[in-house]
Amino acid sequence: MIALLAASALAQGIVQVPEGSVLEVPGKPRFTVPEFSFLLPESHYNQALAKALQLQVCEPALARCTETSLAWVASSEKALAACSEQFKVDASTIDTLKTQVSLVEARALTAEERLRTAHQQRNVAWAITGGLLLGGSVVVAVAVGG
């Protein structure tokens, strides 16, 4: 891949310059290349310069976009923090409700058991009352008949 890129660059007139090379441009002082670089033809340089100038024109709009994005990020972070706090409160509330529901269920079971006991006691009381009435009527019948 790198070989293809290098071949493409060479075909366009771009020259690779190794580190430490000395460049001589007529009418200019000698220049030692501090690191591996590329020499561009004038047309490439002009295109790069035009794009750089266009970028300068776009920079205020890009800065506004960045500023707006950062504001939205800050707003999103605040919303997420609020949601996180609400989730913590909700978890605490759910735990409290679970405890309360278990207590209510225990009280309901106790109430059901007491109701069952009361029904049994009522049935026993009616049986005793029925027995007393029957016994009383037998006594009256024997007393009257006898």
Q: Tell me the per-residue pLDDT of 3-39, one tens digit each, with 9 for 90 and over.
A: 434 445 445 678 888 989 888 888 889 989 899 888 8
Range of the domain at 14: 1-23+31-43
Q: Is residue 11 part of a domain?
A: yes
Q: Are 23 and 49 a contacting pair, CB within 8 Å?
A: no
Q: Which of 20-24, 55-59, 101-105 has the lowest mean pLDDT?
A: 55-59
Q: Is residue 35 part of a domain?
A: yes
pLDDT for the residue numbered 6: 45
Q: What are phi and psi of 25, to 5 degrees?
A: -115, 130
The pLDDT of 68-81, averaged and rounded, is: 95
What is the rounded radius of gyration, in angstroms, for the C-alpha atoms of the chain? 49
Confidence of residue 146 (pLDDT cuts 50, 70, 90): low
pLDDT in tens, 87-100: 999 999 999 999 99
Is the pLDDT score of 69 beyond 90? Answer: yes
Query: Long-range pairs for 3-10 at CB < 8 Å and ≥24 separation?
Result: 9/38
Q: Is residue 7 part of a domain?
A: yes
Q: Is residue 109 part of a domain?
A: no
Longest dimension (CA), the chain: 158
**Residue 131: both structure tokens together:** 């027995």
Q: Is residue 83 part of a domain?
A: no
What is the total count of domains within the chain? 1
Enter the pTM of the model: 0.38
- Give me the residue label for tokens 């591996």: 36
